[in-house]
Amino acid sequence: MIDEKTFNYYRKNAATLVKKYSAIDSSVPIVLQYAERYFYRCSSVLDIGCGTGRDMAFLLSCGYDVYGVEPVAEMIAAAIEKAPVLKTRILQAQLPYKGCYFGFKFYCVLCSAVLMHIPDEYISDCVSTIKDNMIEGGRLLLSVPVERDDLDANYRDSYERLHIMRSPLFYLEIFLKEGFSLLDAIITEDELKRKGIKWCILIFELRSLEI
């Protein structure tokens, strides 16, 4: 469940954020460079916390069958205004969630810059939701912050957004327990070129727990 202050920030700044991320000077966003490397080509992709819709639109243009979920109605509206092709592909829904968002499972899941906004008590259920929406053998790309120098003692930035700093090892442990195996882990600079901020991209594959 996304933190309330964080939710309100995205609700009030949706249009501005769409413009901001659309203006990034990069032909392929950093996270999506690894999606192209590890996702099954032209497969189905679920973007959990799709936000501005930029990643969805890019993956669609590359031939992927992409759907997204986003809790903030204003973000959905702004994303669709920027890319009308997303109109029938985004569901307003929270993480965690019971069952499959769209009634079927996906070969690949993207969850970029989302879990740090979720309080600790919901993380385990979020991992279960991700797993429930993936086929066996599916791929997950997760990005989380590993360094931020702009947070107060309560992990909030100047906009009051929550950014809980958890070690990549925390996420590795919890996903391994749910039947995922790690394919790769990469530390990257911030896409918006903000100093003092770094990210970790974790690539998982969902394996069967049956012996």
Amino acid at 167: S
pLDDT confidence of 193, banded at 50, 70, 90? confident
% of residues, the chain, pLDDT over 70:
97
pLDDT tens for 121-178 read 999 999 999 999 999 999 999 999 999 999 999 999 999 999 999 999 999 999 999 9
The fourth-level CATH superfamily of domain 4-206 is Vaccinia Virus protein VP39 (3.40.50.150)
Report the alpha-carbon distance of residue 198 to residue 113 in Å, rounded.
11
Residue 136 DSSP class: E
Q: Flag whether pLDDT at 24 surpasses 80.
A: no
What's the confidence (pLDDT) of residue 211?
38
CB-CB contact of 127 with 121 (8 Å): no
Average of pLDDT values for 104-124?
Answer: 97
Q: Flag whether pLDDT at 210 surpasses 80.
A: no
User: What is the reported pTM?
Assistant: 0.94
Residue 115 DSSP class: G
pLDDT tens for 46-84 read 999 999 999 999 999 999 999 999 999 999 999 999 999
Q: Flag whether pLDDT at 185 surpasses 70.
A: yes
Report the alpha-carbon distance of residue 49 to residue 46 in Å, rounded.
9
